Structures are given as C-alpha cells and as structure tokens.
Amino acid sequence: MKIQRILSRIETGPGATKLPSSVAAVTLTLSQRTRASGARHFWHEHLRRVQFANPLLPIAVNFPREPCVPKLEIKFADDSVKTFSTEGMHSDDICKRFLKDTGS
C-alpha cells in the first residue's frame, strides 16, 4: 500500500506533466546560505514529478556556497535558454511559470 501511495503522489499533481521534446535540460540553482523556501519546495515536490514523468530529461540542482539569487534555467533543443528568478515565489507559482515557459 505504501508504494501505491508514493506512486500516486508522483504521478499526479501539477509537475507530473510530459514536457515537449523541445526541452533539452533543466537546472535549478539554490544557494546553500539562503533559505529560498519556495524554490526548495519546488525542488522537493514538483521537480521530482517532472523527472518521473520525463525520465530522459537531464535535471540538475546546483548548490553554490556563495549567496546567489535562486533561479530556474530551461535549455531548449535549439540552444536557446530561458532563465527566471524564483526569489520570493511560492512553489506552485514557480511550477506554473515553468510549465508555461516550456509550452506544456
């Protein structure tokens, strides 16, 4: 039963979306020295669902030691990159913006 509950949590929700093939990679950057609770919650809740729904998509999370603004970077197949700051954003808002920018 526990495995079914875990799978149902991963397979549902706003992050459990199949992304278009034009998305080549996703990188989330969080500083070790700032809180950035919205970005951290996005990583734990939504980005794991994205990874489960898109197993071939390279997803990286960077933790630089120096303080920096948390940001999400989306790289596309045509080598274009969309980057936006997640500072002060709620995790659901980050997920909505991510899905909008990827065209999902």
Q: In the structure, what pLDDT confidence band is assigned to residue 1 with cuts at 50, 70 and 90? A: low
Q: What is the pLDDT of residue 80?
A: 93
Alpha-carbon torsion 90, 96, 102, 104, what sign? Answer: positive
- Tell me the average pLDDT of the chain: 87
Q: Does residue 72 register a pLDDT over 80?
A: yes
Q: Which two tokens stand for residue 68?
A: 């920096």
Q: Does residue 78 register a pLDDT over 70?
A: yes
**38-to-41, 58, 89 alpha-carbon distances in Å:** 5, 22, 6
Tell me how far apart the alpha carbons of residues 74 and 96 are, in angstroms, rounded to a whole number: 14
Domains and CATH numbers, the chain: 2-102 (3.40.30.10)
Residues composing the chain = 104
Q: What is the pLDDT of residue 57?
A: 92
**Beta-carbon count within 10 A of 89 CB:** 20
